[in-house]
Structure 1
Amino acid sequence: MIKGRLIALGGGDDDGLLKLIRNEICSAHSHIVVIATAATEVEDSGNAYIAAFEEFGCSNVMLMHIDETNEADTPENLHQIEIAEVVFFTGGDQVRLARFLEGTQLLESMRRRYIHDDIIIAGTSAGAAVMSDRMIYDGYGHYSLIKGEMKTTQGFGFIQQVYIDTHFAERGRFGRLAHAVAHDQEYIGIGLSEETGIIIKDGDQVEVFGTGVVTIIDAGKVRFSNTRQVEENEPIAVEHLIMHLLVQGYRYCLKEHLFQAIPAAAAPTKADQAPIISSE
Structure 2
Amino acid sequence: MTPVKGKLIALGGGDDESLIKLIKSEVCSLTSRIEVIATATPEASDAIKSGLAYKRAFEEMGCSNAHFMRIDEGHPTDSPENLARISQADVVFFTGGDQVRLASFLSDTELLRLMRYRYQNENIIVSGTSAGAAIMSDSMIYDGYGHYSLIKGEMKTTQGGAFIQNVYIDTHFAERGRFGRLAHAVAHDPHYVGIGLSEETGIIINEGDQVEVFGPGVVTIIDASEMRFCNTREVEENEPIAVENLKMHLLVHGYRYCLRERIFQAVPQEPGKAVV
TM-score in same-fold range (> 0.5): yes
Shift of 1:266: 8.4
Amino acid at match of 1:260: Q
Amino acid at match of 2:58: F
SS at match of 2:270: helix
Percent identity of paired positions between Structure 1 and Structure 2: 70
C-alpha deviation, 1:270, in angstroms? 2.3
Structure 2 match to 1:192: 197
Q: Does 1:60 align with 2:65?
A: yes
Counterpart of 1:70?
75
Residue in 2 aligned with 1:130? 135
Counterparts of residues 77-88 of structure 1 (less than 5 Å): 77-88=82-93
Match of 1:21 among 17, 20, 23: 23
State the partner residue of 1:152.
157
Please state if 1:213 is matched with 2:218: yes
Structure 2 gaps of 5+ residues are none
Counterparts in 2 of 1:119 and 1:268: CA distance versus 1, 3 Å: farther
1:249/1:267 contact within 8 Å kept: no
Over 3 Å counting, the alpha-carbon distance change for 1:268 and 1:245 in structure 2 is: farther
**Residue 126 of structure 2: SS of its match in structure 1?**
strand
Confirm whether residue 47 of structure 1 aligns to residue 52 of structure 2: yes
> Quick one: higher RCO (CA 8 Å, sep 6+), 1 or 2?
1
* 1:99 counterpart residue number: 104
Assess if the C-alpha contact under 8 Å between 1:92 and 1:125 holds in 2. yes
- TM-score normalised over the length of structure 2: 0.97
Which aligned segments of 4 or more residues in structure 1 are displaced greater than 6 angstroms? none
1:203 aligns with 2:208: yes
CA shift, 1:264, in A, is: 1.3
1: CA distance, partners of 2:64 / 2:25: 14
- Using the size of structure 1 for normalisation, the TM-score is 0.95
Does the alignment pair 1:234 with 2:236?
A: no
* Structure 1 unmatched ranges of 5 or more: 272-280
SS at match of 2:26: helix
- Number of aligned residues: 271
Counterpart CA distance in 2 for 1:160 and 1:5 is 14
Distance 2:241 2:109 in 1: 37
The answer (yes or no) to whether the contact 1:249–1:268 under 8 Å persists in 2 is: no
3-state SS, counterpart of residue 180 of structure 1? helix
